[in-house]
Amino acid sequence: MANTYPSHSRLAYANRDAIQVAIDGGKLNANDIVFCKDSHQMIIVRDDLSLFEVKSKLYVFDSETEALNTLNTATDSYPGMVVSILNSKGTYSGYVVNGEKGNFTVTSLSAVDSTGFDYDQALNRPIINLLGDPFNPPVLTDMTDGLYKITGSYKIAASLPTIYATSSGHILLIETYENVKYIKRITAYRIYDYSIQTDGTVKSTQVVTKDWIDEQGYATEEYLDTKLAALDAFTKEDAQKYIDETLESKIDGKLDEQINKVINERFTSASDEDINNLF
């Protein structure tokens, strides 16, 4: 279709795949410009009604020196623009341009924020940090399942009067299973487990450590097994020694005495005359 407006350019705002349909229907002509609302492209219709995509250009440099030399002499440089510079690992990294024309500098995008990375603003935080208000402490049973680090004051459940407080932070793991909310509270020296029923009933247990058991003087299973094994070995050794001593000091002496007695009872001494009479 002939261009109805050969010396004019019209602006349009449409989806990318609607452009060719508009050209075929005579709604777009040569020199028309379309801003794509879905792909954010700018497309110019050529004289032959083919499409020319205008792409933004990102300056690419092989070194920071080359970047600074070009940026400080180019007419289109401006503060805040982003460029790509080849690093020592052979890959390109993003840099932002700072300063003013003739005195531009480049700063790595990873170092733009001098305050560092704000963990609490990240979307996929493995641990959620909380600050507990002592006048209105958060109640853990009202919180969604997750892993938290809380500093300040907090309560386990609304039905419990105790308000816990920490300045160094406690780790809290909250999970709901079959309508029962389970909470694991981890401090620097203790681990506590809580289960909260739907009626508000709270059960709590404390996970003790080996050091705590040793401090209380309780015997561990390992300790008992070791002592029983030692006692068993000692008993066998002691019994064997007792038997040997008894045989040596008691039974051997008694046996010799009984043998001598039997010999004396059954045999009598003979005189020379008695021996001669035998022949």
* HEC-encoded secondary structure of 61-102: ECCHHHHHHHHCCCCCCCCCCEEEEECCCCCEEEEEEECCCC
How far apart are alpha carbons 30 and 5 in whole angstroms? 8
pLDDT recorded at residue 59: 86
SS3 215: helix
Phi, psi of 94 (to 5 degrees): -85, 140
Backbone angles phi, psi at 112, to 5 degrees: -65, -45
**C-alpha to C-alpha distance for 147 and 163, rounded to whole angstroms:** 20
Q: Dihedral of the CA atoms 103, 106, 107, 109 (nearest 10)?
A: 140
User: What is the pTM assigned to this prediction?
Assistant: 0.40
pLDDT tens readout for residues 87-136? 888 888 889 998 887 889 888 887 655 555 667 766 677 888 999 998 99
Using one digit for the tens of pLDDT, what is the confidence trace for 3-40?
555 567 888 998 888 999 999 999 999 999 998 887 67
